[in-house]
Amino acid sequence: MLTLLYRIVARDVLLAYRRRSDVVSTLFFFIIVVSLFPLGVGAEPDLLRSIAPGIVWVAALLSSTLALGRLFAPDYADGTLEQMLLSPEPLSVIVIGKLAAHWIVSGLPLVLLSPLLALQFGLPMDSVQVLFISLLIGTPTLSFVGAIGAALTLGLRSANVLMSLLVLPLTIPVLIFGAGAVSAYTSGIGATAYLQLLGGLLAATMALAPWAIVAALKISME
């Protein structure tokens, strides 16, 4: 299974590298959304510091949702997904491999860029570190939850719109805890409880989401 997992991850990362324009467009969207807010709000340091965690997290959420459209669609279009469903290999392992590759390509770059973008809001370095950790824990959860919506809307007209309507309400707890961790740390309360809640959500989605995604894919392919 580990060999299968590695091959699925390597395959999807290679395919994403060949379609670099899709990955770059997601990153540019994230950068532009985060960078526009300081220009619109103005040079008010206290206000910028207070709204920075929410802005970065909302931009990461929207960017990850934007990237979900290419999670299963290319394999569905060329028939590869049907062959995966017919394969004797566990489909849950294939799904986990695809999600891991999706996060490496779409989620990890957002996490790595977030400290640099957060500096333009005047956040202190220790708050930036908390923001980085919260995104590192929270963005995989966004991928797992979003994959359920991507599987359910596979092959439908206006799939991206329907997927957003399904996924965005489910990601609200991740958004609250992720942005709340930085705000709590800045106010002196401490971010440990929020980060533990994010870790609990990640553990729950890692355990349950693959089975839901497999069931959704089978429904969409029928």
Write the pLDDT tens digit of every residue in 123-157. Answer: 888 999 999 999 999 999 999 999 998 888 887 77
Q: DSSP 3-state helix, strand, coil percentages of the chain (rounded to 5)?
A: 85, 0, 15
The arithmetic mean of pLDDT across residues 60-66, rounded, is: 88
Sort 180 into a burial class: Cβ within 10 Å, 0-12 / 13-18 / 19+: buried
State how far the Cα of 135 lies from the Cα of 139, in Å rounded to an integer: 5
Sort 14 into a burial class: Cβ within 10 Å, 0-12 / 13-18 / 19+: exposed
pLDDT grade, residue 205 (50/70/90)?
very high
Ramachandran bin of 43, using left for φ above 0, alpha for ψ from -120 to 50, beta for the remaining angles? beta
State how far the Cα of 99 lies from the Cα of 94, in Å rounded to an integer: 9
What is the value of pTM for the model shown? 0.89
pLDDT, tens only, 169-183: 889 999 999 999 998
**pLDDT beyond 80 at 42:** no
